[in-house]
A and B are shown apart, each in its own frame.
Chain A
Amino acid sequence: MSVNVATASSPRPAGVGLTEPWLVRAGLTAIALLFFVTFLVVPLAFLFVEAFREGWKAYTAAIVDEAALASITLTLIVAAVSVPANTVFGFAAAWAITKFDFRGKRLLTTLIDLPFAVSPVVAGLIFVQLFGRQGWFGPWLQEHDVKVIFAVPGIVLATIFVSFPFVARELIAVMEASGREEEEAAKLLGANGWQTFRRVTLPNVKWAALTGVILCTARAMGEFGAVSVVSGRIRGETTTMPIQVEILYNEYAFQASFAVASLLAILAVVTLVLQTVIERRTRPVEDPPRPAELGV
């Protein structure tokens, strides 16, 4: 009984022996904050300071530079193809997996997560092995004069691969939790499949879908390892923004490199803000964040 009283009366730990001494608390907080500042705040601040080192003019000049603009365009094109493709897949996979029972469901779910376990470099390599000069389809592609590797299609494929699971895994988690009863009720009331999906399923999963799309977009626009294997770095043609950052950095054009990188950093910060806002909307305040979008 005394235990119950203790839990009810103290929302914050105050009882003797139930929390650490003041000094330990302060010490641990200091360690955590120091870790946080050294590894997250300082690099982010440094990045923007370097980007603006030579002033606002140099910054804008680096961004409206022809090669930089070409890389921004290509990055947007790649995202515009790969994100919708993976989103459609995510809905299809989530519908099949969560609304029906079949054998091999666990295997299918594991296979969908597979791209997260594969090194980005390997993700690029496998497409070279398929479509490269010496690849499985290489001779056929050459005969028909189609370029995949060191061209935009290869970049798109590699990007689709690395950003593959994001939407699917968000949707599977939410649709698994919400069950099938509502859809079955809609069906009993005479709705067809498409109506059921649009009027019943979609409103339930829209925030999860949005989170998945945001994370997928961030990854698609920021992918470096896989793209660098299939890109070939043809200026103005196959350089995405991360590749442009690399080229400039290796040419010792540090300020320009950091300027382009700062755009990607802004994208990352926007991603985090949107993610946090959505999480606050869909979750009671007290709830801890779930072990979010872990890469593996």
Chain B
Amino acid sequence: MFAGSSRGTTLPGFRTTMTFTVVYLTAIVIVPLLTLPVKSFSQGWTFFAETILDPRVVASYRLTLGTSFAAACVNGVLGAVTAWVLVRYPFPGRRIVDAMIDLPFALPTAVAGITLTSLYGPKGWIGQYLSQFGIQGVFSPLGITIALIFIGLPFVVRTLQPVIADLDRELEEAAVSLGANRTQVIFRVILPYLYPAWLVGFGMAFARAIGEYGSVVFIAGNMPMKTEIASLLVITKLTQYDYAGAAAVAFVMLLLSFALLLALNAMQGWSVRRLGC
């Protein structure tokens, strides 16, 4: 009797909650997602291969991955600086800045999309100065990257902040007492310690950017082969009633983000192992 209770098995409600969880999850998530591989191959392997190897589709994957990577890199550097400053350097208004970092998670993507498009457009506050230098802030890969920097901004900051806060001051002090200068402490003690978490934040920003639609679709301009992202191509194929084609493009996108997530999980495990010891 007591053996059972110590395992927590005497608490009621397991069967009810578990059944509901599994049924709801299956109906809302699993079954709908299963349509993707099924539909992708509904017209045979050749159709699938031809669809995803079509130059326009390949161009959209390249553009999506390229701009997502560029945005994740910018967030990787500036997000790390922001996290460091927020934890280590007290300045007035820090709490407001800290609270506002999550804005891109809370702001609907369509709202971000129209705002950035007008802001960086030829008449916008920022766009008018860019166009003076001949830089096209909208309807260009640069515009897509700007939108992706916006939506990915919180990831690196939020993954690094707690790790920087947990950083053991004694580690730095020990390094100093052993004769290291600040540059050496930063590059040989602090950065190696932060690296795993940074990589996770970077990967999350990257993965999120690959699937992004709302914030990008307005600013991209959507010219085939030039500024057409993969998620837009899915919608284009759908409106042309090419369901199998849409599913094929989407399925590859899903596989890409899963591959990234698996890599992330592996990194997280590695990160925990490193920080644990």
Q: Which residues of A contact B (CB under 8 A)?
A: 2-3, 6-7, 12-13, 15-21, 25, 28-29, 31-33, 35-36, 38-44, 46-47, 50, 88-89, 91-93, 95-97, 99-102, 108, 111-112, 114-115, 117-122, 125-130, 132, 134-136, 157, 160-161, 164, 180, 183-184, 187-188, 192-193, 196-197, 215, 218, 221-225, 228-229, 241-243, 245-246, 249, 254, 257-258, 261, 264-265, 267-269, 271-273, 275-276, 287-296
Contact = CB atoms under 8 A, between A and B. Distances in A.
A101 B8 contact: yes
22 contacts: A17-B182, A19-B88, A36-B100, A40-B101, A44-B115, A47-B111, A47-B115, A95-B13, A120-B231, A125-B36, A129-B32, A132-B243, A164-B28, A184-B10, A184-B11, A221-B108, A224-B109, A254-B118, A269-B106, A289-B158, A293-B102, A296-B204
Interface string B207-245: 110111110001000000000000110110010000100
Interface of B: 5, 7-14, 16-18, 20-22, 24-25, 28-33, 35-36, 39, 78, 81-82, 84-91, 97-116, 118-119, 124-126, 149-150, 153-155, 158-159, 161-162, 164-166, 169-170, 172-174, 176-177, 180-182, 185-186, 201, 204, 207-208, 210-214, 218, 231-232, 234-235, 238, 243, 246-247, 250, 253-254, 257-258, 261, 264
Contact of B234 (A12, A33, A122, A183): A122
A160 B150 CA distance: 25
B161 A40 contact: no
Contacts of B12: 187, 192-193, 196
Given A40-B153, A95-B13, A225-B109, A121 B234 contact: yes
Nearest to A30: B85
Contact of A112 (B25, B39, B85, B166): B25
Contacts of B25: 89, 93, 108, 111-112
B29 A36 contact: no
B157 to A, nearest CB: 9
A197 B126 CA distance: 54
